Chains A and B, each alone.
Chain A
Amino acid sequence: MAENEDVIAAIVGIEPGSAIAAVVAGRADIMALTQKTHDSALSPENPGGLSHAERAALAWRMAKINDNKTFEDHFEALLEKAGAPDAAARMADIWFDGGNDIRAKALIRHVDLVAHAPKQATRRDIELLQEAGLADDDIVRLSELVAFVSYQIRVAVGLELMRGLA
């Protein structure tokens, strides 16, 4: 997917000239910032300790947790674009818990928790990431990834429901 393509418009199927396109155009600034944040969270210029492939794989995992097939396809495509190295690609497998890889296990555990049940998160969950070797800046990068993807999926789900109105 091209960097400048609007992921939400593509996923919701917002056709130029349609009624929903006119409504969304009223908030074009928000939609453009949403796309820019998508690119910053999934394929940042400085990825720190979280590679583009790992970000795509974890986002794909989140799309599965959110039961959203179109976002699954989108993040799968991003993973392929990032070269889909085996170690990263495995993290998209919802039945894989990281195995013996302490770092992968911590990333997966945290993504699953915060995507699905953020209310259960405590100080201990951040300590587990630190104990697995994540630096504080990478913990923030991971948190923004999970938080942003959760936002983007909900915007698309809402727009799909709105498109269904007569």
Chain B
Amino acid sequence: MSEIVHDFTTDIPVWKPYVTPLNLADATPEQLEALKVTPSNTKVSDYVLVLAHDVETLTHRSPLFNGVMYNSGGLSRAEREIGAVGASIVNRCIYCAAVHASRYNQLTKSTDVIAAIFADGTEAEIEARLKAILNFAVKLSKCPPEANAADMAALVEVGLNKEEILDLILSTSLFGWANRLMHTLGEPIRE
């Protein structure tokens, strides 16, 4: 029996699409290129096979995603994950929240911050720097966005420089994108 996961968790569920993923045997050369499928690398997730139906955006989306989350300099990788988690909470993308919360826990070797955020959202009792980051991410993720000059000033006050703030804007916004794909095109399942 499998069931849909409705509550935030760091135990990563399985993602089941609502639409039919691309059948690799039917892929065009352009799709294979975007999927980075090679004779030695034929494992592609259902999620990416769904996105391959729009190959023109997928071609740019994959390097963009990796750059925003993993490029060097700027905001720490762990703090970028808080931007991702903040967006995923607003949009209630259980799958994205699970992946990026667990990545934060791996990077920081601690579970307290995520546990507090899952329990209390922006009211979580976490250190001031993380609180300002989470608050900005949550407010930017609302529709219309609610982040304001005071939220931006709060980031400076807790010590973020402009390069770090740009990375936070990018990782938070990126999950406004990812959540709208993952949460609307499929569902998180526990098998």
A-side interface residues toward B, CB under 8 Å?
Answer: 19-20, 23-24, 26-27, 29-30, 33-34, 36-37, 40-41, 44-46, 48, 65-68, 114-119, 121, 123, 125-127, 136-137, 139-141, 143-144, 146-148, 150-155, 157-159, 161-162, 164-165
Q: Is B140 an interface residue (CB 8 A)?
A: yes
Given contacts A24-B166, A148-B177, contact A44 B185 (CB under 8 A): no
Q: Report whether A33 and B64 are in contact in the complex, using a CB–CB cutoff of 8 Å.
A: yes
B interface residues, how many (CB within 8 angstroms): 56
Give a binary string over B3-45; 1 marks a CB under 8 Å from any A CB, 0 the rest: 0000000000000001110000000000000000000000000
1/0 contact string of B154-191 vs chain A (CB within 8 Å):
00100000110111111011101111110111010000
> What is the chain A residue whose CB lies nearest that of B89?
A119
Please state if B64 and A158 are interface contacts (CB–CB under 8 Å).
Answer: no
* Closest beta carbon of chain A to B77's beta carbon, Å: 15
Q: How far is the CA of A161 from the CA of B156 in the complex (A)?
A: 12
B138 at the interface (CB under 8 A from A): no
| Most B C-beta atoms less than 10 A away, residue of A44, A144, A152 | A144
Q: Is the interface of B mostly helix, strand, loop or mixed?
A: helix
Known contacts A40-B56, A141-B54, A165-B153: A121-B184 contact under CB 8 Å: yes
Besides A30-B67, A114-B180, A151-B174, 19 other A-B contacts (C-beta < 8 A): A23-B166, A30-B170, A34-B64, A66-B143, A118-B180, A118-B184, A119-B91, A119-B93, A127-B18, A136-B20, A147-B181, A148-B57, A154-B140, A155-B173, A158-B166, A158-B173, A159-B169, A164-B152, A165-B156
- In the assembled complex, the Cα of A127 lies from the Cα of B184 at a distance in Å of 11
